[in-house]
């Protein structure tokens, strides 16, 4: 009685060994490091490594090691001071096509690393950083897609000589095509159905004497458009985050219209927010100097023109026709204008854009070209008693300068307020425009000081709670208490090992989950030990009592743990971020405590008491 077969001991030792191995990397701490990643066409190679090490040696900055990976280079330092000093040195040696980010690299020894053992992945609330949840404005994406069909529908109708009056936007979405009579309208409807299989054209209610069609995207087309907008936005955000130089960013789709962005270690959320959420783009239009601006302000805007305002607040009339949009810009760099001394942005266009602008400026030398800065902002307004987010679009003319000569692929714009603004604008133009506006609907920023506090406090409370339980168990159950304590300690090691192995995110509520598990994990042992005591009181022999105690407590433990596991799983499937972290540690804790509290303690009890003649149990 009370014997474990050899294979059970081997299994226990194997699992515990595995657990200790995978928990080990958490003991080594982290090195301050720089993470170099390539943007655009450049790549990480031996050459990059050589450039970096030469530059650091020249600057007499000591470094620990350089690890070369497939898409990044990690340079480790002995302290933060040399890390910070080295950043500009490395940046300069590599040039603009590389991003150099501050990072903490795990100091896991090579042999553990090669086994795939890594330290736990800390959540933003522990390491500090910014978490954004962004909503993609799908309505805008749809109307943009509808707009794209406008010119195509027009040329199709013309080609078939179907007479229509105008194509405008329908007030409840879609395009509105107005026809002279029903006959033309029916022809138009048939044509759209033939030529544009992804569009729906339905009769719209029209005032008498008119016939109208409302053209909208078909459902599949709507879904595809939304998917594309989301994908494009994720790509653009990724580029922008790369430009910001953040190590280990997370950019993920959430649901059908949302994007999660997590930027660990970012200390100034304001800049990150501005860059990520910015929908700033440019438009180039000719200035309409033929008409009177005052008339336009009074409401008589001449045909073919639109009223804009400059940064100074002065009104200006621009031609309705857009010469060029920001989409054609492939590169942009900020600098200082040689003549005025003010900030400027040098812009490089793609082939199509270059053709358009040279054609547009050729015949207009001497006229003024305006640069319009367009930005989407989101504000909360009250609508029908509820607070809702709405878009606000600001359009400003940042410069309106004389065209001195025909423009080509490369030219400069001026008129920006500060070098900071010039830098941000060039960054946005480089990373490309967002396919649809996005706005932040949730933000959680944790400063680095609070992150460290959270780690310390979390660690302290786990340790103190743990110590209290150990002392109590030892006093109350004596030798059996010690056995339970060994199991409890191994339980903690196993939880850490599983979290490291799964690379699940450890958050502050996650630590709370561990604390709670520690408290609840002893429950299984309490159940077993109380049962053994009962059996002894009922006059059974010590050996029989141990056997019966484990046997009878098992189904109770299983039932109790499974129900708790159900609650934890529901929590996991519902939870966001930190809550998920809690659910994960709670579930893992339940599983590992079942193993340690039942198998490990039984193994120990059998080793100590098994096969011996016992008169009394110290319990």
DSSP 8-state symbol, 302: P
Question: What is the chain's percent helix, strand, coil content, to nearest 5?
Answer: 50, 25, 25
The beta-strand segments (E) located in 196-320 are: 199-204, 211-217, 250-254, 258-264, 281-286, 305-309, 315-319
Q: Is 174 left (phi over 0), alpha (psi -120 to 50) or beta?
A: left
CB of 75 vs other proteins, minimal distance in Å: 29
Q: Which long-range contacts (CB under 8 A, 24 or more apart) does 180-188 make?
A: 180/211, 181/211, 182/211, 184/211, 185/211, 185/212, 185/213, 187/160, 187/162, 188/157, 188/162, 188/164, 188/213
CB of 240 vs other proteins, minimal distance in Å: 15
CB of 439 vs other proteins, minimal distance in Å: 8
Look at the block and give the residue holding tokens 């606000």: 392
What CA–CA distance (Å, rounded) separates 99 from 120? 26
CB of 333 vs other proteins, minimal distance in Å: 26
What residues have CB less than 8 Å from 408, skipping those under 6 apart? 354, 357, 358
What CA–CA distance (Å, rounded) separates 453 from 458? 8
Radius of gyration in angstroms for the set of CA atoms belonging to the chain, rounded to a whole number? 34
Question: Which lies closer to other proteins via its Cβ, residue 8 or residue 258?
Answer: 258
Question: Which lies closer to other proteins via its Cβ, residue 13 or residue 379?
Answer: 379
CB of 479 vs other proteins, minimal distance in Å: 17
CB of 564 vs other proteins, minimal distance in Å: 4
Question: Which lies closer to other proteins via its Cβ, residue 245 or residue 481?
Answer: 481
Strand 121-122 versus strand 505-506 pairing type:
parallel
Task: Give yes or no for a contact between 132 and 440, defined as CB atoms under 8 angstroms apart.
Answer: yes
Question: Which lies closer to other proteins via its Cβ, residue 307 or residue 560?
Answer: 560
- From the list 244, 281, 277, 271, the residue with the least C-alpha distance to 259 is 277
CB of 502 vs other proteins, minimal distance in Å: 20
The pair of structure tokens assigned to 44 is 């990480």
What CA–CA distance (Å, rounded) separates 252 from 254? 6
C-alpha distances out from residue 477 to 216, 463, 472, 531, 549, Å: 75, 21, 8, 12, 14
CB of 310 vs other proteins, minimal distance in Å: 22
Question: Which lies closer to other proteins via its Cβ, residue 66 or residue 568?
Answer: 568
Question: Which lies closer to other proteins via its Cβ, residue 45 or residue 394?
Answer: 394
Question: Which lies closer to other proteins via its Cβ, residue 46 or residue 573?
Answer: 573
Buried b (16+ CB within 10 A) or exposed e, 69-103: eeebbbbbbeeeebbeebbebbbebbeeebbbbbb
Question: Which lies closer to other proteins via its Cβ, residue 15 or residue 484?
Answer: 484
CB of 326 vs other proteins, minimal distance in Å: 21
Question: Which lies closer to other proteins via its Cβ, residue 184 or residue 535?
Answer: 535
Question: Which lies closer to other proteins via its Cβ, residue 226 or residue 485?
Answer: 485
Question: Which lies closer to other proteins via its Cβ, residue 323 or residue 378?
Answer: 378
CB of 423 vs other proteins, minimal distance in Å: 18
| 474 CB-contact burial (10 Å; exposed 0-12 / middle 13-18 / buried 19+) | middle
CB of 131 vs other proteins, minimal distance in Å: 9
CB of 260 vs other proteins, minimal distance in Å: 12
| 317 CB-contact burial (10 Å; exposed 0-12 / middle 13-18 / buried 19+) | buried
Neighbours of 413 (CB within 10 A): 22
What CA–CA distance (Å, rounded) separates 210 from 224? 33
DSSP 8-state symbol, 328: G
Question: Which lies closer to other proteins via its Cβ, residue 197 or residue 385?
Answer: 385
- From the list 288, 266, 306, the residue with the least C-alpha distance to 124 is 266
Task: Give yes or no for a contact between 352 and 328, defined as CB atoms under 8 angstroms apart.
Answer: yes
CB of 497 vs other proteins, minimal distance in Å: 20
Question: Which lies closer to other proteins via its Cβ, residue 29 or residue 447?
Answer: 447
């Amino acid at each position: 009685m009370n014997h474990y077969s050899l294979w059970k001991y081997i299994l226990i030792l194997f699992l515990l060994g595995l657990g200790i191995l995978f928990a080990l990397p958490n003991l080594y701490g982290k090195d301050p490091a720089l993470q170099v990643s390539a943007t655009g066409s450049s790549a990480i190679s031996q050459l990059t490594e050589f450039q970096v090490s030469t530059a650091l040696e020249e600057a007499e900055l000591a470094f620990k090691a350089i690890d070369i990976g497939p898409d990044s280079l990690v340079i480790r330092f002995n302290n933060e001071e040399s890390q910070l000093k080295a950043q500009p040195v490395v940046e300069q040696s590599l040039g603009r096509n590389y991003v150099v980010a501050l990072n903490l690299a795990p100091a896991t020894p090579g042999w553990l690393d090669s086994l795939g053992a890594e330290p736990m992945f800390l959540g933003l609330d522990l390491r500090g950083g910014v978490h954004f949840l962004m909503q993609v404005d799908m309505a805008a994406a749809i109307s943009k897609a509808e707009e794209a069909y406008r010119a195509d529908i027009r040329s199709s109708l013309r080609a078939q000589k179907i007479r229509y009056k105008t194509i405008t936007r329908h007030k409840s979405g879609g395009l509105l095509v107005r026809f002279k009579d029903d006959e033309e309208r029916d022809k138009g409807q048939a044509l759209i159905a033939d030529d544009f299989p992804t569009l729906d054209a339905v009769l719209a209610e029209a005032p008498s004497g008119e016939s109208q069609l409302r053209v909208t995207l078909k459902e599949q087309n709507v879904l595809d458009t939304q998917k594309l907008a989301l994908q494009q936005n994720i790509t653009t955000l990724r580029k922008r985050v790369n430009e910001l130089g953040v190590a280990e960013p997370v950019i993920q789709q959430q649901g059908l219209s949302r994007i999660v962005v997590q930027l660990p270690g970012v200390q100034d959320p304001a800049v990150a927010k501005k860059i990520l959420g910015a929908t700033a783009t440019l438009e180039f239009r000719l200035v309409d100097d033929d008409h009177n601006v005052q008339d336009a302000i009074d409401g008589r805007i001449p045909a073919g023109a639109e009223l804009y305002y400059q940064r100074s607040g002065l009104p200006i009339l621009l031609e309705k026709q857009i010469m060029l949009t920001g989409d054609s810009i492939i590169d942009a760099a900020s600098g200082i204008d040689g003549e005025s001394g003010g900030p400027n942005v040098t812009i490089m266009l793609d082939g199509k854009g270059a053709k358009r602008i040279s054609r547009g400026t050729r015949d207009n030398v001497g006229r003024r070209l305006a640069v319009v800065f367009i930005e989407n902002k989101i504000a909360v307004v009250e609508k029908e008693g509820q607070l809702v987010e709405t878009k606000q679009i600001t359009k400003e003319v940042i410069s309106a300068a004389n065209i001195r000569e025909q423009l080509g692929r490369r030219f400069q714009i001026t008129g920006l307020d500060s070098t900071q603004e010039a830098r941000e604008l060039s960054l946005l133009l480089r990373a490309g425009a967002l396919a649809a506006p996005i706005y932040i609907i949730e933000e959680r920023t944790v400063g680095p000081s609070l992150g460290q506090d959270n780690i310390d406090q979390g660690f302290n409370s786990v340790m103190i709670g743990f110590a209290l339980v150990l002392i109590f168990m030892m006093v109350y159950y004596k030798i059996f208490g010690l056995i339970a304590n060994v199991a409890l300690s191994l339980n903690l090691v196993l939880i850490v090992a599983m979290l490291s192995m799964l690379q699940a995110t450890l958050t502050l509520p996650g630590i709370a989950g561990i604390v709670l598990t520690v408290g609840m994990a002893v429950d299984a042992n309490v159940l077993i030990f109380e049962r053994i005591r009962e059996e002894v009181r009922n006059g059974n022999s010590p050996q029989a009592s141990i056997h019966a105690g484990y046997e009878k407590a098992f189904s109770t433990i299983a039932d109790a743990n499974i129900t708790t596991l159900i609650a934890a799983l529901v929590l996991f499937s519902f939870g966001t971020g930190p809550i998920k972290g809690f659910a994960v540690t709670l579930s893992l804790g339940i599983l590992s405590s079942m193993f340690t509290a039942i198998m490990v303690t039984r193994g120990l009890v059998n080793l100590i008491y098994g096969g011996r003649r016992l008169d009394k149990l110290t319990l």
